[in-house]
Amino acid sequence: MQSINVVNIDPNEAVQTIDGSMTEARRQLEVCNACRYCESFCSVFPAVNRERTFSESTITQLANLCHNCRGCHYACQYTAPHEFGINIPKVLAEVRQNSWQDNAMPAFMARAFHRSGAALAVAVVIGFALLLWLINQLPQSINANFGEGFYSQLSHNAMIAIFIPAFLLPVLAIAISVRRYWRSVGGTQLQLSHIKAALASVAKMRNLAGGSGEGCNFEDEDRFSNARRWYHQATMIGFLLCFAATSVGTLMHYLFDMQAPYPLFSLPKMLGVSGGVLLSIGTLGLGVLKLQADRDLADRRVWGGEMGFIILLFLVSTSGLALYVLAASPWLPELLAFHLGSVLAFFVLMPFSKMVHGFYRLAALLREQQLQ
């Protein structure tokens, strides 16, 4: 009898090289393609079943389509200790992570910040220190002349001068890297129907629904739960609301000459406070779930970076809410510096942190629509 060639799996030694993860993913997907039991869990398996062989670009696309719901893993008859050693959530997480890091610009930044929560923390501290220094350095009299509220601490123009480039340059870097991804997976001209379907999938987080709508197998082994799906949506919607609040505020400032601080029943405040609350709840929930989840069903290299990113988002939203509540506090300058510093760190690190997952996932969902 011929022996089978099975890559030896040592759970303590993650397959970390790009080629290693890619080869391992191919081996595992070939097992999946001969089995097909997981067809209804998510978008990945129907996409697997369209193929007979798996090119690197196909595997990268499948990896970005995977939302790490883990339903397939707990259902799999071939997970360790079985000699086939299937662990699709892990190997696809590794390929996915590699695709983000390789396409990032510059790639060395991505490698540092994706992996290290400590690096993220240092970035926040630097942002905080920078803002505090600015607040203290700019002559109070100048600031005072410029406005009231937060602008009495740091003028609107100074904020804009810092945050516009700190936002636009990272967005540009993300656009370039997602474009690289799009080309590498063979993406073509988009049609409105693709966009509609992909956005609908995002809105419902269909790929975290576990096929039957009962959610993923994340925090408690094979128990289905929508907790992660709802916390993720709270985070995403909260983030978009906060972003909308800032955008609306900026438009009001420049187009209508309506300057902050705004009353509670104004568009920026209502969007910002509700968004901040959702973002705080969502990130707190995601962080707690992440502590409970099995770390071996993801890319172990980036656990710290991912946790750091969740904490950073939590700090951004919570410090923003604190500013609203504690506007009259003597600690306002420090609090403002902390909030703006963490926002700054968040923006600057967008291309090099978990933040890119949203853009890549959307691209993968769009590509999947084209392939269907």
**What span, in angstroms and rounded, lies between the C-alpha atoms of 343 and 323?**
13
Counting contacts by CB under 8 A, is residue 215 touching other proteins? no
**Residue choice 18, 80, 321, 332 for contact with other proteins (CB under 8 A):** 80
Strand-pairing partners, residue 225, are: 216
Which helix or strand (DSSP H or E) is residue 117 part of?
helix 117-137
Q: Considering the complex, what minimum distance in angstroms separates the CB of residue 298 from other proteins?
A: 19
For residues 82 to 111, the per-residue mask of contacts with other proteins, x marking binding by CB under 8 A and - elsewhere, is: xx----------------------------
Task: Quote the tokens at residue 364.
Answer: 């993968």
**What span, in angstroms and rounded, lies between the C-alpha atoms of 61 and 366?**
11
Which residues 18-47 are close enough to bind other proteins by CB under 8 A? 30-31, 33-41, 46
Nearest to 158 by CA among 345, 340, 322: 340
> With contact defined as beta carbons under 8 Å apart, do 94 and 88 qualify?
no
Q: Considering the complex, what minimum distance in angstroms separates the CB of residue 182 from other proteins?
A: 27
Which residue lies nearer to other proteins by CB, 51 or 102? 51
**Residue choice 15, 65, 71, 363 for contact with other proteins (CB under 8 A):** 71
Its sign, for the CA torsion 171, 172, 176, 182, is: positive
Cβ-proximal residues to 330 (8 Å cutoff; 6+ apart), any chain: none
Counting contacts by CB under 8 A, is residue 74 touching other proteins? yes
Task: Quote the tokens at residue 119.
Answer: 């690096």
Which residue lies nearer to other proteins by CB, 157 or 212? 212
Which residue lies nearer to other proteins by CB, 74 or 303? 74
Counting contacts by CB under 8 A, is residue 225 touching other proteins? no
Counting contacts by CB under 8 A, is residue 77 touching other proteins? yes
> With contact defined as beta carbons under 8 Å apart, do 277 and 238 qualify?
yes
Its sign, for the CA torsion 39, 75, 70, 107, is: negative
Which residue lies nearer to other proteins by CB, 165 or 213? 213
Counting contacts by CB under 8 A, is residue 8 touching other proteins? no
Q: Considering the complex, what minimum distance in angstroms separates the CB of residue 81 from other proteins?
A: 6
> Which part of the chain contacts other proteins (CB under 8 A), choosing from 158-166, 208-216, 303-311, 352-360?
208-216
Nearest to 327 by CA among 272, 261, 281, 238: 261
- Which chain residues interact with other proteins by CB under 8 A? 1-4, 30-31, 33-41, 46, 49, 52, 71-72, 74-83, 211-212, 214, 222-223
